[in-house]
Copies of this chain bind each other. A is one copy, B any other.
Amino acid sequence: MGLGEFALIDRYFRKCGVKRADVRLGVGDDAALLDSPAGCELVAAIDTLVAGVHFPHGSPAASIGHRALAVNLSDLAAMGARPAWALLALTVPNSHDAWLSEFAAGFSALAYAYDVALVGGDTTSGPLCVSVQILGHVPKGAGMLRSGARPGDLVFVSGTPGDAAAGLAVEQGRLDAPAAAATYLRKRFLFPSPRMALGERLRSYASACIDVSDGLLGDVGKLAHASGCGVELSYGKVPVSEALVQAVGDERARELALTGGDDYELCFTVKPEHVGKLRQDLPPQRWGYSLIGVVQDAPGAVVMSGGNVMEFSHSGYDHFGSSMG
Contact = CB atoms under 8 A, between A and B. Distances in A.
Contact of A31 (B6, B29, B44): B44
Interface stretch (A75-83, A155-163, A164-172, A290-298): A75-83
Given A29-B79, A30-B75, A119-B44, A318 B53 contact: no
Interface in A46-85: 46-48, 50-54, 74-76, 78-79, 81, 85
A214 to B, nearest CB: 8
A38 B35 CA distance: 10
A207 interface: no
Nearest to A49: B124
A43 interface: yes
B79 A44 contact: no
A44 to B, nearest CB: 5
A250 interface: no
Given A129-B126, A129-B127, A34 B45 contact: no
A89 interface: yes
Given A8-B320, A31-B81, A53 B133 contact: no
Contact of A30 (B5, B6, B34, B211): B211
A320 B3 contact: yes
A88 B25 CA distance: 23
Nearest to A42: B34
B45 A124 contact: no
A174 interface: no
Interface in A13-29: 24-25, 28-29
A242 B1 CA distance: 37
A6 B50 contact: no
Copies of chain A in the complex: 2
A5 B319 contact: yes
Contacts of A45: 30-32, 87, 120
26 contacts: A6-B318, A25-B143, A28-B146, A29-B145, A30-B74, A30-B78, A31-B45, A31-B79, A33-B43, A33-B138, A35-B41, A42-B42, A44-B135, A46-B88, A46-B121, A47-B122, A48-B124, A50-B127, A52-B126, A87-B133, A91-B129, A123-B319, A125-B320, A125-B323, A127-B129, A131-B133
Interface of A: 1-6, 8, 24-25, 28-36, 38, 41-48, 50-54, 74-76, 78-79, 81, 85, 87-89, 91, 95, 119-127, 129, 131, 133-136, 138, 140, 143, 145-147, 209-211, 222, 226, 318-321, 323
